[in-house]
Amino acid sequence: MSLKYRILLILALIAVSAWALFPRTVTERVKRNGVYVVDTVQRVPLKRGLDLQGGMHLALEIDDSKQKVADKSDAIDRALKVVRTRIDQFGVSEPLVQKAGADRIIVELPGIDDPQRAMDVVQKSAFLQFEITDKTGALEKALPRLDAAVKSLGSTAALKGVAAPATTQTDSAKNALQGLFSKDTAKKAPGDTTKKDTAAVAGGAFSKLVQQGQMPGEYYVAQNDVPALQRYLSLPSVQAAIPPGKVIRWSSDTTSLGSRTYRAMYLLDARPIITGDYLTDAKPTQSPTEGTVVQFTLNNEGGRRFRNETSKHIGDYMAIVLDSLVMGRPPVIQGAIGTQGQITLGGRDLQAAQDLALVLRAGSLPVPLKIDEVRNIGPSLGADSIHASIQAGAIALCLVVVIMIGYYRFSGLLAVFGLAIYTLCTLAALAGFDATLTLPGLAGFVLSIGMAVDANVLIFERIREELDHGKSTRLSIDEGFRHALPAIIDSNVSAALTAAVLYQFGTGPVRGFAVTLLAGIAASMVTAIFVVRTFYIIWLTRNTDQKALSI
């Protein structure tokens, strides 16, 4: 290659590297909530990891209070895949999700600005079921047994810690509540004749808290009375009095009327007609009539089962249950439903729909998880680390410059110029691969400054040997580069293979270190073999008086 093209290539390398490190606004096509969108963002050349910019550290464990697990290690392995998928779709750059010991999962999220949202996404079970509301009036028939079960426990056992239920209501409040319930927003089945008297179910302590709704299996409870009723429902004797084959679920939403708030309660068939195991996709969207919804898609087998089951329940109300909560008001089944459906979230915002779609796509957790430890890592640690790393890098760079120039003189000065280009190219390569700079990555970069001149040392020593053998300066330089090349390639390939293994099997900061090492090796070889030799060629071209090489 002629000298002219060599110089142009080096200038182009410097220009591209500077362009890669220059902050600018870019348009990117990114996948968000399963959909590719075009987004305009302020590009940051070098992103910082959790240890440099702060973030969130979570330790997750199996929640034994909800489910006993015999093989915790296996359960954690299965939960790890789900959590990792959710975090990957959450949009955090360079997160760390790994198993710690046999029964813990560690999640580290750099730069997270909404810790509560992150915890909700990680912890949500996302167990989806479709259940039919009871249409036999089973709860009304069981109310005497439920009242008796509460009464038999006595006030001290059954009512301990339970707020006193509201036992009186004004007539206007009752009328208003009935008016609210009569405004049924769900679609009515053709020929639906299930309207019932909306008067409160009279009776004992249990039935006084329950107000019958408009659709079969629907009941309303004043929000202040919900803790009391939940307390009753947690009692074994009350559970035993619930109609067999039925289950009570609470709505995820509340309804306000004047100064009072109510929560819907549903009696459902315990056997779901289908679960979310067959779900393949979920997308958030907003409907002008139904508000925020999540549209889901089932696979072929799920669609076939869903179609068969819903064809048997045309005219019935189907509750969509997520993590034991009924999402929205159960719609009536107008006809057989196939692979497509939707979950109505009512007045919730689009972000809630996005999070729900995210966890549905990632699948449900095989075991319930609880957060054992949550720790926010402040940016102060990162600032200290950055300051210390810059200081160490500056000292290392000065030592390398002094040693190279002091020992190899003019040739050492050429190596220092090459080192400057090496630094620029390494940082540009990290920015080009969208790598995240962590503390191990910074340490690796500082170490690589010394390694970067190793190739130059090999070349210079070979040139010295050739000069000692009495060869001309031009021939000594050519022979020096040629003889040093095999050793340079061997050492760099070995280091590159090690870095590749670290990248493949490592996570988080280990991967950051591996990426830094790979970028440094590539830049080192280019600058030592190509750039520094070009400097020599320029010197030889200008050295017409055959002055001896300073090395």
Q: Identify the band that residue 44 occupies on the pLDDT scale cut at 50, 70 and 90.
A: low
pLDDT score at 96: 77
* Residue of 62, 5, 7, 4 lying closest to 531 (CA atoms): 7
Mean pLDDT of 180-206: 47
Q: Which two tokens stand for residue 265?
A: 């309660």
Q: Which two tokens stand for residue 78?
A: 């299965």
Report CA Rg, the chain: 35
pLDDT score at 475: 87
Q: Tell me the C-alpha distance between 200 and 485, whole Å.
A: 91
Mean pLDDT of 252-256: 82
* Residue of 206, 230, 79, 69 lying closest to 148 (CA atoms): 206
Q: Identify the band that residue 193 occupies on the pLDDT scale cut at 50, 70 and 90.
A: very low
Q: How far is CA 461 from CA 145, 304, 413, in A?
A: 96, 75, 15
Mean pLDDT of 148-168: 57
Residue 29 has pLDDT above 80, yes or no: no
pLDDT score at 35: 52
257, 220 contact by CB (below 8 A) = no
Q: Which range in 23-32, 228-237, 277-286 is most confidently predicted, on average pLDDT?
A: 228-237
pTM: 0.52
Mean pLDDT of 73-79: 83
Mean pLDDT of 526-550: 83
pLDDT score at 185: 39
Other C-beta atoms lying within 10 Å of the C-beta of residue 393: 17
Q: Identify the band that residue 474 occupies on the pLDDT scale cut at 50, 70 and 90.
A: confident
Task: Give percent of the chain with pLDDT exceeding 70.
Answer: 82
Q: Tell me the C-alpha distance between 95 and 126, whole Å.
A: 21
pLDDT score at 445: 78
Q: Identify the band that residue 167 occupies on the pLDDT scale cut at 50, 70 and 90.
A: very low
pLDDT score at 275: 84
Residue 370 has pLDDT above 60, yes or no: yes
> To the nearest whole number, what is the mean pLDDT of the chain?
78
pLDDT score at 221: 92
Q: Identify the band that residue 181 occupies on the pLDDT scale cut at 50, 70 and 90.
A: very low
pLDDT: which is higher, 47 or 486: 486
| Geometric angle at alpha carbon 250, from 339 and 67, rounded to 5° | 85
372, 59 contact by CB (below 8 A) = yes
Q: Identify the band that residue 55 occupies on the pLDDT scale cut at 50, 70 and 90.
A: confident
pLDDT: which is higher, 287 or 132: 132
Count of residues making up the chain: 551
Least confident of 56-70, 342-356, 474-488: 342-356
pLDDT score at 161: 46
* Residue of 11, 85, 62 lying closest to 370 (CA atoms): 62
Task: Give percent of the chain with pLDDT exceeding 90.
Answer: 7
Which region holds residue 43: left if phi is over 0, alpha if psi is between -120 and 50, else beta?
A: beta
pLDDT: which is higher, 519 or 92: 519
Residue 197 has pLDDT above 50, yes or no: no
Pairing of strands 291-298, 260-269: unpaired
Q: Identify the band that residue 32 occupies on the pLDDT scale cut at 50, 70 and 90.
A: low
pLDDT score at 267: 94
Exposure class string for 256-278: b at 16+ Cβ within 10 A, else e: eeeeeebbbbbbbbeebbbbbeb
Rounded to 10 deg, the angle between the 350-362 and 115-123 helix axes is 40
pLDDT score at 268: 94
Q: Which two tokens stand for residue 312?
A: 């048997």
Q: What's the first-to-final CA gap in the chain, in angstroms?
A: 25
pLDDT score at 381: 57
Q: Tell me the C-alpha distance between 401 and 393, whole Å.
A: 12
For residue range 408-419, list pLDDT tens digits in order: 888 889 888 988
Q: Tell me the C-alpha distance between 292 and 349, whole Å.
A: 7
Look at residue 136 and give its three-state secondary structure.
Answer: coil
Look at residue 279 and give its three-state secondary structure.
Answer: strand
pLDDT score at 180: 45
For residue range 480-518, list pLDDT tens digits in order: 888 888 888 888 888 888 888 888 777 666 777 788 888
Residue 190 has pLDDT above 50, yes or no: no
Task: Give residue 174's identity as a one-letter amino acid code.
Answer: K
Q: Is 350 exposed, middle or buried (0-12, 13-18, 19+ CB in 10 A)?
A: middle
Q: What are residue 375's phi and psi, to 5 degrees?
A: -140, 130
Mean pLDDT of 324-332: 84
* Residue of 440, 452, 435 lying closest to 521 (CA atoms): 452
Strand partners, 221: 263
Helix or strand run (H / E) with residue 332: none
Look at residue 256 and give its three-state secondary structure.
Answer: strand
Q: Which range in 447-451, 472-476, 511-515 is most confidently predicted, on average pLDDT?
A: 472-476
pLDDT: which is higher, 437 or 320: 320
